[in-house]
């Protein structure tokens, strides 16, 4: 029998659905876009009902392409953006727009949690957002039956169960019992009964509701499998990160850069995260998260080029190709929606620095690409500072991996080899890998990744640009600390 694993990835810009077999081959995939709203600076929201619309549309589209094989679908793994708060009433009806992972409004509440519990929860996390709702929208807060995530809402629509993914690093849990810590929630003034069931990556949340199976023309009783805390956790598995020392970058709208380690590692300055791996909690990892990576380039392309989406993108890449490394000393700060690592700032400000009459649009195109690459170098330096060796190879997936020029820039800036897998939509194959282990197709994640993850190309760093990038980076890392006081006055 051929096993077909279906993965749903609820990303920031839309939902991807993919069907992958046990050999790691992408049989078909589909994408449905939904909008992002920013009613105020630092407030980033979405209509959560569109998550379910997107699921139905992408699943139907995939099934049309594999008509005779749909009975071979053996599972649905759900992954996607996390720390996106979706609050619902008892009937599962959403009470307001989702406050997505980019939302930075809850700094006051983040500071309150630090004082009350002695634990740092970034303002982008759901717990500070819940407190923000209590403080600023008390009527909505009083109607909450369950506080879910984006994925939790889809779990409910598929299975009828109110569930969320278990975060091993989250100190609101009693780890041994896998239960919410009602005492800590009480200190914060959050009723524990609004918190949903907890599921670990690879566990079966439930089985597809009969009416949903009929509506989508799917086989009955398909298990719905928890992907894991973050889409990037699932994507790392899709890149083949399963052993200590494995390093990877998932580059999409945002970017996650992680290195797996055997021991607990924490950054005393809270610039990067040290946490149990979201899929294999026996391993730890260090992780740096960039709020606008591919999103920054998308912003630039959409606002400074004309034509179709493809024409704009191709034109920007062509122009960036025509400019030498260093962009003639033009630098770009990519913090367009605030920043997570290493600043954890709610100041949604970026900047082009060093503009002269000698610069044209081509320099700006390349400067954007280089600015994101310099952030990855900054993260590498922080990792080294807290005792993590610089990786010799970084596996790279996500939409940014489509841009060969960008890969070469990143490789050169980091002076590190990049490996790009056959399937760069790493979350889709990662979900399939997790399901293959849950259903005993493979004995463990190592066996599954060895059989399902295949490398397409390797990017070797060039020494030609090293001196230029070393000089530019030295200036780049001084920019945000110098400019933040000015940004705060704007």
- pTM higher than the cut 0.95: no
* Mean local confidence (pLDDT), 30-49: 94
Residue 148 pLDDT grade (very low, low, confident, very high; cuts 50, 70, 90): very high
Q: What's residue 175's pLDDT?
A: 75
pLDDT above 90 (res 271): yes
The two structure tokens encoding residue 69: 């094989």
Q: What is the residue extent of each domain of the chain?
A: 4-226, 239-421+460-490
- 276 touches 173 (CB < 8 A): no
Instruction: Identify which has the larger pLDDT, 172 or 168.
Output: 172
Q: What CATH number belongs to 239-421+460-490?
A: 3.30.420.40
Of 6, 25, 120, 123, residue with least CA distance to 72: 6
Residues in the chain: 490
Q: What is the pLDDT of residue 68?
A: 73
User: What integer pLDDT is reported at residue 428 of this predicted model?
Assistant: 96
Mean local confidence (pLDDT), 410-424: 97
Closest CA to 81 of 179, 152, 163, 19: 152
pLDDT of residue 282: 85
Which of these ranges, 39-43, 67-71, 128-132, has the smallest mean pLDDT? 67-71
Q: Does 178 or 15 have the greater pLDDT score?
A: 15
Half-sphere exposure of 102 (CA within 13 A, CB side): 26
Q: Give the per-residue pLDDT at 111.
A: 94
Q: What is the pLDDT of residue 337?
A: 85
Query: What is residue 280's predicted lDDT score, i.e. its pLDDT?
Result: 86
CATH topology classification for 4-226 = Nucleotidyltransferase; domain 5 (3.30.420)
Indicate the average pLDDT of the chain. Answer: 95
Q: How far is CA 282 from CA 56, 192, 262, 291, 450, in A?
A: 35, 28, 8, 28, 20
111/173 Cα distance (integer angstroms): 20
Tell me the pLDDT tens digit for each residue of 196-248.
999 999 999 999 999 999 999 999 999 999 999 889 899 999 999 999 999 99
| Euclidean distance between CA atoms 296 and 300, whole angstroms | 6
- The CA distance from 26 to 225, in Å, is 19
Q: Write the pLDDT tens digit of every residue in 274-327.
A: 988 889 888 999 999 999 999 999 999 999 999 999 999 999 999 999 999 999
Q: What angle separates helix 126-136 from helix 107-117, to the nearest 10 degrees?
A: 110
Instruction: Tell me if domain 4-226 and domain 239-421+460-490 are identical in fold.
Output: yes
Matching residue, tokens 């889709």? 428
The mean per-residue pLDDT over the stretch 428-448 comes to 97
What pLDDT does 141 receive?
98
Residue 434: pLDDT over 80: yes
Mean pLDDT, residues 100-112 taken together: 92
- Is residue 272 within 8 A of residue 383, CB to CB? The reply is yes
* pLDDT for the residue numbered 169: 64
**Do 362 and 323 contact (CB within 8 A), yes or no?**
yes
Per-residue confidence (pLDDT) for residue 345, from 0 to 100: 85
């Amino acid at each position: 029998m051929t096993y077909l694993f279906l993965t749903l990835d609820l990303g920031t810009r839309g939902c991807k659905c993919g069907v992958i077999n046990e050999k790691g081959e992408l049989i078909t995939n589909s994408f449905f876009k939904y909008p992002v709203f920013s009613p105020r600076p630092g407030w980033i929201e979405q209509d959560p009902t569109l998550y379910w619309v997107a699921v139905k549309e992408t699943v139907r589209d995939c099934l049309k392409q594999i008509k005779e094989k749909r009975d071979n679908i053996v599972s649905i793994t759900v992954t996607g953006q996390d720390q996106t708060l979706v609050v619902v009433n008892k009937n599962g009806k959403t009470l307001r727009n989702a406050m997505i992972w980019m939302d930075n409004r809850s700094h006051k509440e983040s500071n309150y949690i630090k004082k009350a519990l002695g634990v740092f929860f970034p303002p982008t996390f759901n717990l500070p957002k819940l407190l923000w709702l209590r403080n600023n929208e008390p009527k909505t807060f009083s109607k909450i039956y369950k506080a879910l995530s984006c994925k939790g809402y889809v779990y409910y629509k598929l299975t009828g169960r109110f569930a969320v993914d278990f975060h091993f690093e989250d100190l609101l849990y009693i780890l041994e019992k896998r239960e919410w810590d009602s005492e800590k929630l009480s200190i914060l003034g959050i009723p524990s009964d609004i918190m949903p069931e907890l599921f670990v990556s690879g566990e079966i949340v439930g089985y597809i509701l009969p009416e949903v199976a009929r509506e989508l023309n799917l086989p009955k009783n398909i298990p719905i499998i928890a992907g894991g805390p973050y889409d990037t956790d699932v994507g790392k598995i899709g890149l083949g990160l399963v052993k200590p020392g494995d390093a990877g970058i998932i580059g999409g709208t945002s970017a996650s850069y992680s290195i797996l380690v055997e021991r607990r590692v924490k950054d005393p300055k809270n610039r990067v995260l040290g946490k149990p791996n979201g899929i294999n909690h026996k391993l730890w990892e260090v992780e740096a998260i960039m709020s606008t990576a591919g999103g920054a380039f998308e912003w630039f392309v959409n606002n400074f080029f004309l034509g179709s989406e493809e024409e704009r993108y191709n034109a920007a890449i062509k122009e960036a190709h025509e400019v030498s490394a260093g962009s003639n000393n033009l630098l770009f700060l990519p913090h367009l929606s605030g920043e997570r690592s290493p600043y954890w700032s709610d100041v949604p400000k970026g900047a082009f620095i060093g503009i002269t009459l000698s610069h044209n649009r081509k320099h700006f195109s390349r400067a954007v690409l280089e600015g994101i690459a310099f952030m990855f170098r900054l993260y590498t330096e922080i990792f080294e500072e807290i005792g993590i060796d610089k990786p010799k190879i970084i596996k790279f997936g996500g939409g940014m991996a489509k841009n060969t020029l960008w890969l070469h820039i990143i490789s050169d800036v980091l002076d590190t080899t990049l490996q790009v897998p056959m399937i760069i939509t790493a979350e889709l194959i990662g979900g399939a890998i997790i399901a293959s282990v849950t259903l005993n197709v493979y004995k463990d994640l190592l066996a599954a990744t060895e059989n399902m993850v295949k490398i397409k190309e390797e990017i070797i760093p060039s020494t030609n640009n090293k001196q230029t990038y070393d000089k530019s980076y030295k200036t780049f890392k001084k920019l945000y600390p110098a400019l933040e006081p000015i940004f705060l006055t704007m």
